[in-house]
Structure 1
């Protein structure tokens, strides 16, 4: 017995694991996918770790179809016509545990925000007081402050280009620009990225680490609960605060100090986001103080990467496709000749540039910011997706990279760059727009997307009108939740306009 007992225990344990694997596999056996993915989340963790999960998802959907089982209880949906069933305004599918991994820590507690909270009631409470601040009607009031940062950005680029004949790292400069714009809009001051030409307080590296960590740990969220958000481990680091939260808090303190010193403020924009956040809480004392922290943190966390990635993509694709750049330049030249184009293009002027709009949409389609499925949990009663019943409790999600290359919606050349696809009849264009997940969809769509649009539609035509740009080498795409491009190196020269 002393010899057989370990063997017997081993066999019983093995049989128990096989039973678990069988039950896990059987639950979604009607959905095709890799066998290992049907019994373990390790394959999708490995795909995320590689930084190429978006390419793997495209391959899997090409092999298995519209529905692919990518985990024991996780299904990737590739049909864009199912967007409303998962993300629609009236649909209440809760965000998966992936989003808890994206919640930064502050003094031993996770800081929830508009993007990363799973609690729908909390999301409504956070969004209701400030939603109007992010409307394009309100944001246009910020144009003079965006213009100031654009002028300084162009000045700094010229200085750098004069100092060296080598190409500049435009990708990094665009992110510095996006950070400083967010500083102007939120705290009434540039945050110093353009001035110092460096990653201030290491915040960019910190955000990169957050997305890199969450991309693979999010495939098995229990790892995060076991380590970073383990209350017992947190006892050893009671004062620890995420660098992102600390950065936002410090900027908020600076902003508040300016207000106190100026006594009514002559050196700051009294309508900046921080002022509005503070006003919202002053008008409703029931709003917790930490809401202000959550709002400011959300602006910092999501206010630079998404915008910078979009701008890099547009510039990259235009430089890689001279025929498209020529069409854009013809449009800008005509608008300039007719007096419809300022030195710093205004938001209103950009709305009269249809080819620019087509290029922005096509870049967001072909190179979306989000590189992994936007996960949701199927509610009680289940749901039918692509003609297949999906049981309640299943995690489902759509990867923008997969959805945006659907040939039934975007055409047989869906994998290719073609801005002209957007210059079509209204019905076809509306369908394609409804099938975009560039900034999410439904009631959980990105609150700050209009900030990105304001920057993009102003800076891109302004840059191409004032500069000849030449791409040096190619870029490298690494997918860590938000797809980050590196090595976007460009030579600039003043255009005679």
Structure 2
């Protein structure tokens, strides 16, 4: 199923660490950069995230809080997700927030690519006749535009280095392009092409997937005013700043519960992450043996509605399930929470193939939600309003009209 995600440039298929089934290839190209994606390293990027958040707060204030215009939050969450990952990736924004639109249709093209991948990955041989057709390519050409954008960024970066004597504009933190480029000095197989391939994954994987997860938070808070009021009270009580700082919000229990519950009830990935049973087969807890070579997987949308894990009301949005119950021992609570969080986290994959961007996505989510609900009063036009959504491997949601007003407490 992953082969249609190969990028085709000048007739050549190029695999990456997301779609390769080659364990040696995956280990070779993931190992040099894996450390950059740890929680500790991601937090070093917080000043860059704050730049994007300040721009977003100012822009939302001018366009919506200051005018009374209805804000299409589904669009603006996407603008933030894409601009935020751009800033931590190469130290500049695409311009979505500033322009308030889909610059050069980059988001639309990425979405079209995922719509293509979701369908064609289920019948991968069709890809040979469509996107990988050597005579005439048919379809949205997934990943190609992201690749070309990465080429442009790296080329400009090299030009700036040459013009400035190996230095570039100083940013408040070292972004991924700085880090990837520096690997050229110590690893023989790292060249500009490899930097581009790594950077391309930042660009394409960090926008749509994170936006889908973030939209759920705003939608379900809008549908549940009592939950929103409790969250805002917690943020006010902690005197959270704008932009919110990780050190100030990491221990906020209700914010944590809201984020976990949103990730649970609307996972960012809505189709199975296929895996192949290795030699020797897979022994299930109930005694059944799945033979080697069989493709297996569990849909995150099924895992996160398991009543045995989350309770009989698993279909409801209820952040309180993540809090300690009256009369529940600390030991029992931690065990219950661990089981729920492990099942919810399965959306990001597991083991050696776990999503590299998991910590970045979660940090961006926590900071965005804490910042905007501290700065603004954000309400759905009607609490019974229902969004529109589409599962196309990533989850895509539209029609989230909200009214934004300044709170004046931040």
Alignment of 1:420-435 (within 5 A): 420-424=320-324, 425-435=333-343
1:105 positional shift:
2.1
1:167 positional shift:
1.1
SS where residue 397 of structure 2 aligns? strand
RMSD: 2.1
SS where residue 132 of structure 2 aligns? coil
Which residue number corresponds to residue 255 of structure 1? Answer: 157
Which residue number corresponds to residue 94 of structure 1? Answer: none
Contact map agreement 1:206 1:244 (CA 8 A) in 2: no
Structure 1 stretches of 4+ with a deviation exceeding 6 A read none
Distance 1:241 1:481, change over 3 A: closer
Gaps of at least 5 residues in structure 2 are 325-332
Distance 1:124 1:203, change over 3 A: same
Which residue number corresponds to residue 328 of structure 2? Answer: none
Indicate yes or no: 2:293 matched with 1:293. Answer: no
Note the alpha carbon deviations across 1:237-287, whole angstroms, 9 max, x for none.
Answer: xx9981121122222222332333332435233721111111112211233
Distance 2:105 2:404 in 1: 27
Distance 1:278 1:401, change over 3 A: same
Which residue number corresponds to residue 332 of structure 1? Answer: 235
Distance 1:260 1:107 in 2: 28
1:289 positional shift:
4.2
After superposing the two structures, state which structure 1 stretch, 199-208 or 123-132, moved more: 199-208
Distance 2:318 2:67 in 1: 34
1:232 positional shift:
5.6
Distance 1:201 1:104, change over 3 A: farther
Distance 1:241 1:409, change over 3 A: closer
Distance 1:259 1:475, change over 3 A: farther
Gaps of at least 5 residues in structure 1 are 1-97
Q: Compare CA radii of gyration and give the structure with the larger one.
A: 1
Equivalent of 1:417, from 317, 339, 347? 317
1:369 positional shift:
0.6
1:233 positional shift:
5.1
Indicate yes or no: 2:251 matched with 1:352. Answer: yes
TM-score by length of 1: 0.75
Which residue number corresponds to residue 144 of structure 1? Answer: 47
Contact map agreement 1:107 1:240 (CA 8 A) in 2: no
Which residue number corresponds to residue 271 of structure 1? Answer: 174
Note the alpha carbon deviations across 1:187-235, whole angstroms, 9 max, x for none.
Answer: 111121112222222211111011101111111111112332244657x
Alignment of 1:360-375 (within 5 A): 360-375=259-274
Distance 2:69 2:165 in 1: 47
SS where residue 32 of structure 2 aligns? coil
Contact map agreement 2:114 2:142 (CA 8 A) in 1: no
